[in-house]
A and B are shown apart, each in its own frame.
Chain A
Amino acid sequence: MSALDFLSPSRSAPETLASPLARALAGAPEGVRDLSLDGKVEVRGDLGRVELEAGDELVRLTPGRGLLLTENTLEAIDGLRENGLLAYDMTGALAGLAFEGETLLRRLTDLDPGALPTAGGFARVSAVVVRDDGARFRAYFAQELGHYVAEVVLDLLAGLDNA
């Protein structure tokens, strides 16, 4: 067992794991997806040395700090550390949510939709916000605030549906 294995949910059997958004998103409308158990790795060091595997995505937070979104957390961490970078499994630290609609995004954050991905205020907490195709977005935020954020997103969606 390595010194930081206790950070990695993927070291546990899948049936032992639960998303922090599971209760809030039960019955959520289509278009809202829970990404909390997807792999997330915080990378520290020279981000130019990060070698991305197919399907991986690196969100640069500062010149020396990034969030790697990957399906293969453990392999990615090993590879990054072998490459001289520091890497920490943040899968459990960050809840994630995918949603649709630019108006919804604008009600959640003052970040410029044209300047994503970036980190900033989101539903009054800190988050990393990523834009996918068109008006589809993802947000990653502290898991302990996850239930609250999911409640806000659903509440806003309900308001927009009724508007």
Chain B
Amino acid sequence: MRLPPQPGELIDRSETLRFRLGESELEGFRGDTIGSALFANGRRVFSRSFKYHRPRGLLCCSGHCPNCMMTVDGVPNVRVCVEPLREGAVVTPQNVVGRLDMDFLSVVDKVGGPFTPVGFYYRTMIRPRRMWPLYERFLRGVAGLGRLDPHAGHSRRYDVEHRHARVLVVGGGQAGRAAALAAATAGPGVVLVDEGSRLCGHDLPGVEELALATALGIWEGNLVPVDCGTVLYRYRAERIVVATGAVEQPLVFPGNDLAGVMLPEGARRLARDFSLQPGSRAVVVAADEHGLESADVLRESGVAVPRVVDLREGGHELEAHGRRGQVRRVSVGGDSVDCDLLVVSGGLQPAYALLAEAGARVEYDESRGIFVPTELPDGIEAVGSVTGEGLERIVAAPAYEGRGKCFVCVCEDVTTKDVKRAISEGFDSIELAKRYTTVTMGPCQGKLCQLPSIRLYAKERQVYEASIGSTTARPPWAPVELGLLAGRHLEPTRRTSIHFRHEELGARMMWAGPWKRPYAYGEKPEGEVHAVHDSLGVIDVSTLGKLLVEGPEAADLLERLYPNRFADLKPGRIRYAVLTSDGGRIMDDGTVARLADDLYYVTTTSTGADAVTAWFEWWNAVWGYDAEIVNVTGALAALNLAGPLAREALQRLTEADLGPDAFRYLDAKHVDVAGVPCLALRIGFVGELGYELHFPSAAGEYLWDRLVAEGARPFGLEPQRVLRLEKGHVIVGQDTDSESNLLSSGMSWLPKMDKDDFVGKFALEHFAEREERERLVGFTMEENVVPPEGAQIVVDGWPSGRVTSARRSEQVGAVIGLAWLPPDRAEAGTRVEIRVDRRLLGARVTHGSFYDPAGERMRA
């Protein structure tokens, strides 16, 4: 029932807002929360509990408990007690099968006890095993709170904003406001954050106020993310003042979860902020003055209060009795009192979670029966009741036993019986019990259940609360929307400067590490393979890592980084290069071209540029060579023009002499191509005559267009994989793994073991001495079946190797691939079997290239 206008009420009676609850059209006032508007419309049951589907009503009206969680405009788990009412809001109950006042799953509460004891997911519904699919479907159907609409799409936009503050005050109560004002006298940069609307009407000069904003935690470096709905403010503060106050604690007694059982602040807010009569006849049971004072508030709002019980006087049993989930009668101290409202208070517990997250110690204060923060870290202060200042000694009994369920945790439906059973099963540490019973792990994050559960633990184990300790406080302090944590929907994507040309040509783009690259330009990549073999193809290889190494000691640096030799590489020549770790394992590969005596140009794999740069810089910092390493990956586009017609096509675009004697295989030359300065590398990853052109990325589209106009057919990654496989060329990371070394990978010719030293030399010497364990070889399938990458190779019925790459090659006329095999099966011509779809298919081991083994075509 709405009271006549009250001084200080938050509602604006002149503006009516309409909203829906299910099929019902309801009204409230501007300034109402959805919860207060529903209450004004006579709703008393707001939700159904997590496990037992018991009816639940408003309890705290402070956004702490789970009792009022509903779905609002498609967003689940909104605490409607603090959610402002808005015109047209659509509110739906959640965790309900049927209606709020008639939930069919409440049968679990009546008869489900034997099936749902604490830890039931470990012990029931697991036998018989054949029934598990049925159980699973049922459990998945009923688990969780709320439902996300998978088809909803992006209904809101979320952003993150980074801010800096000199002083950040968390909590807008009396102490927080005073701290903010005091800080503001020393200068600007003071921010006050409050999760409610307490800042309304307070004049705080020099203070930036953020209302309806929740500080989610305190991280290293005084980082405080503040949830403001659709924007997450990430504050870095020089100093943080925590003034989060204290949280009212419920009492544990039979029937303590009935609708109509409220905490004092809940009743106070309904009456004072929203001018609502919380009930018509109330009983107040409290362990502190703060709770007892609520009786006066109730009387002022016209509620009859026939009984007020001060628990400090001791000796009272307490039990609430209800009908249809709502409180109707209270038994207290042997008396039975009819009522529809029971206000209970177990005292106030400092809300210290943020301080604990920041590194403060939390200790049990025996004298007052509460946990208090101590030893605050530098840069963090606490003021007000969060310190325990001004709080009374709590004398409430740990739990009042009776016939009905006594809930220690209303979020997770954990009862006193559950906690006792957990203790009897050996979960006698509060941290273990937390994980087993899930007490403190629900939406309130322990605000209402940590202290009661610790008290119960202490009582059952007959020890002091101080020896039980508290559970670890972890952020977030309050529930936060996943969308807010996820932020923007855009992900960093690397695109070459020719990316949009590929899209215009109809390329199917795929992820290749952090890059987007063309898979192929049509449905059949075979045509692109043919073009490279028979005429001319062009592929965008701008993703290759590209480094400059320059300086008087650049050669010395590369000599020590790589197993092969580069000091004797002549300017204008290129050498294949494989980088090994200090454990002798293959890390990356590419080419090294010497551009001048003191200047090298290094290429790496597409995903290896950053790691190789870091590796070079790290070693150079250790050795101190006079050489600079510059990552120019993004500065340069790169195109590989390949095919028998490559020379004549390129010749039409340059005045440079590309003749076979003037520009030999493995030469590097500076040439102008169609007016663009290029470094041209004559190398052949795809096995045909080819030129790799490296040039300013800004000219990417232009040069691509010119080469395509000369007849080059674009080819993508998939045709490139077929072409390189025909040559038996290895892709590091696909054909090799973290255990692969040069000797077992068929590259024993590469390391120059007579060099004084290089990274991985000691390990390679060790590999050379020990027995070989496996070898990378080629294979040809007997049938026209492509085994999947990773397929097992079976010897005598045992897995003995694995396929790393396989493709059908029309040029070779067979399915070919690379695989790791035991040395005794790795000889050329050996027959092995590969498991494909539960069948064993024959294959023959090969060595060397499948296509043009002498390399005459790429050296043409």
Contacts of B628 in A (CB 8 A): 44, 86
Residue from A4, A112, A147, A156 having most chain B Cβ neighbours under 10 A: A4
Question: Would you call B677 and A11 a contact (CB within 8 A)?
Answer: yes
A54 at the interface (CB under 8 A from B): no
Expressed in whole angstroms, the Cα–Cα distance for A5 and B677 within the complex equals: 7
Question: Would you call A16 and B630 a contact (CB within 8 A)?
Answer: no
Question: Would you call A92 and B634 a contact (CB within 8 A)?
Answer: yes
Interface string of A1-35 (1 = CB under 8 A from B): 10111111101110111111001000000000000
B788 at the interface (CB under 8 A from A): no
B697 at the interface (CB under 8 A from A): yes
Question: Would you call B492 and A125 a contact (CB within 8 A)?
Answer: yes
Q: Which of B496, B500, B676, B698 contacts A144 (CB 8 A)?
A: B496
Question: Would you call A12 and B699 a contact (CB within 8 A)?
Answer: yes
Question: Would you call B157 and A147 a contact (CB within 8 A)?
Answer: no
Question: Would you call B696 and A152 a contact (CB within 8 A)?
Answer: no
Question: Would you call B164 and A92 a contact (CB within 8 A)?
Answer: no
With both chains docked as a complex, state the minimum distance between the C-beta of B569 and any C-beta of chain A, in angstroms: 15
User: Given A18-B698, A148-B490, does the pair A159, B157 have CB atoms closer than 8 Å?
Assistant: yes
Question: Would you call B634 and A16 a contact (CB within 8 A)?
Answer: no
With both chains docked as a complex, state the minimum distance between the C-beta of B699 and any C-beta of chain A, in angstroms: 5
Q: Which of B236, B494, B551, B636 contacts A6 (CB 8 A)?
A: B636
Interface size class of A (residues with CB under 8 A): 35 or more
Question: Would you call B670 and A1 a contact (CB within 8 A)?
Answer: yes
Question: Would you call B630 and A107 a contact (CB within 8 A)?
Answer: no
Residue from A92, A109, A148, A152 having most chain B Cβ neighbours under 10 A: A92
Question: Would you call A12 and B548 a contact (CB within 8 A)?
Answer: no
User: Given A16-B699, A88-B548, A110-B234, does the pair A7, B636 have CB atoms closer than 8 Å?
Assistant: yes
Contacts of B702 in A (CB 8 A): 12, 15-18
Question: Would you call A6 and B488 a contact (CB within 8 A)?
Answer: no
Among B536-573, those with CB < 8 Å from A are 542, 548, 550-551
User: Which residue on chain A has the smallest CB distance to residue B599?
Assistant: A3
Contacts of B491 in A (CB 8 A): 148
With both chains docked as a complex, state the minimum distance between the C-beta of A110 and any C-beta of chain B, in angstroms: 4
User: Given A1-B670, A94-B634, does the pair A9, B696 have CB atoms closer than 8 Å?
Assistant: yes
Expressed in whole angstroms, the Cα–Cα distance for A90 and B630 within the complex equals: 10
User: Given A92-B636, A103-B161, A112-B164, does the pair A9, B699 have CB atoms closer than 8 Å?
Assistant: yes
Question: Would you call B499 and A147 a contact (CB within 8 A)?
Answer: yes
User: Given A18-B497, A151-B490, does the pair A90, B675 have CB atoms closer than 8 Å?
Assistant: no
Among B458-504, those with CB < 8 Å from A are 488, 490-497, 499-500
B694 at the interface (CB under 8 A from A): yes
Contacts of A123 in B (CB 8 A): 492
A128 at the interface (CB under 8 A from B): no
User: Given A6-B679, A143-B697, A147-B495, does the pair A106, B163 have CB atoms closer than 8 Å?
Assistant: yes
User: Which residue on chain A has the smallest CB distance to residue B491?
Assistant: A148
A-B contact count (CB 8 A): 152
Contacts of A42 in B (CB 8 A): 630
A155 at the interface (CB under 8 A from B): yes
Contacts of B595 in A (CB 8 A): 3-4
Interface string of B596-616 (1 = CB under 8 A from A): 100100000000000000000
User: Which residue on chain A has the smallest CB distance to residue B669?
Assistant: A1
Q: Which of B157, B493, B701 contacts A148 (CB 8 A)?
A: B493
B103 at the interface (CB under 8 A from A): no
Question: Would you call A92 and B696 a contact (CB within 8 A)?
Answer: yes
Contacts of A70 in B (CB 8 A): none
Question: Would you call B699 and A124 a contact (CB within 8 A)?
Answer: no
With both chains docked as a complex, state the minimum distance between the C-beta of B705 and any C-beta of chain A, in angstroms: 10
Contacts of B550 in A (CB 8 A): 86
B211 at the interface (CB under 8 A from A): no
Contacts of A142 in B (CB 8 A): 494, 634
User: Given A5-B670, A12-B699, A37-B698, does the pair A148, B630 have CB atoms closer than 8 Å?
Assistant: no
Expressed in whole angstroms, the Cα–Cα distance for A42 and B695 within the complex equals: 18
User: Which residue on chain B has the smallest CB distance to residue A151?
Assistant: B490
Expressed in whole angstroms, the Cα–Cα distance for A9 and B702 within the complex equals: 12
B686 at the interface (CB under 8 A from A): no
With both chains docked as a complex, state the minimum distance between the C-beta of A162 and any C-beta of chain B, in angstroms: 8
Expressed in whole angstroms, the Cα–Cα distance for A6 and B599 within the complex equals: 14
User: Which residue on chain A has the smallest CB distance to residue B594?
Assistant: A3
A89 at the interface (CB under 8 A from B): yes
Interface string of A107-130 (1 = CB under 8 A from B): 101111010000000011100000
Contacts of B494 in A (CB 8 A): 142, 144-145, 148
Interface string of B678-716 (1 = CB under 8 A from A): 110000000000000011111111110000000000000
Interface string of A47-77 (1 = CB under 8 A from B): 0000000000000000000000000000000
Expressed in whole angstroms, the Cα–Cα distance for A31 and B113 within the complex equals: 66
Expressed in whole angstroms, the Cα–Cα distance for A91 and B636 within the complex equals: 10
Question: Would you call B678 and A6 a contact (CB within 8 A)?
Answer: yes
A93 at the interface (CB under 8 A from B): yes
Expressed in whole angstroms, the Cα–Cα distance for A37 and B634 within the complex equals: 14
Residue from A3, A6, A89 having most chain B Cβ neighbours under 10 A: A6
Question: Would you call B696 and A143 a contact (CB within 8 A)?
Answer: no
Question: Would you call B159 and A107 a contact (CB within 8 A)?
Answer: yes
Contacts of A23 in B (CB 8 A): 500
With both chains docked as a complex, state the minimum distance between the C-beta of B498 and any C-beta of chain A, in angstroms: 10
Question: Would you call B492 and A148 a contact (CB within 8 A)?
Answer: yes
With both chains docked as a complex, state the minimum distance between the C-beta of A108 and any C-beta of chain B, in angstroms: 8
Contacts of A44 in B (CB 8 A): 628, 630
Question: Would you call B497 and A12 a contact (CB within 8 A)?
Answer: no
Q: For the complex of A and B, list the 7 residue pairs with the smallest distance between their C-beta atoms, beginning with the closest.
A: A93-B635, A110-B162, A9-B696, A17-B698, A16-B702, A92-B696, A6-B679
A-B contact pairs, 5 of them (CB 8 A): A1-B672, A7-B635, A92-B698, A144-B495, A148-B491
Other than the given A15-B702, A148-B493, 13 more pairs (CB < 8 A) read A7-B636, A9-B699, A12-B675, A12-B676, A16-B702, A16-B703, A18-B497, A91-B696, A91-B698, A114-B164, A125-B492, A144-B542, A145-B493
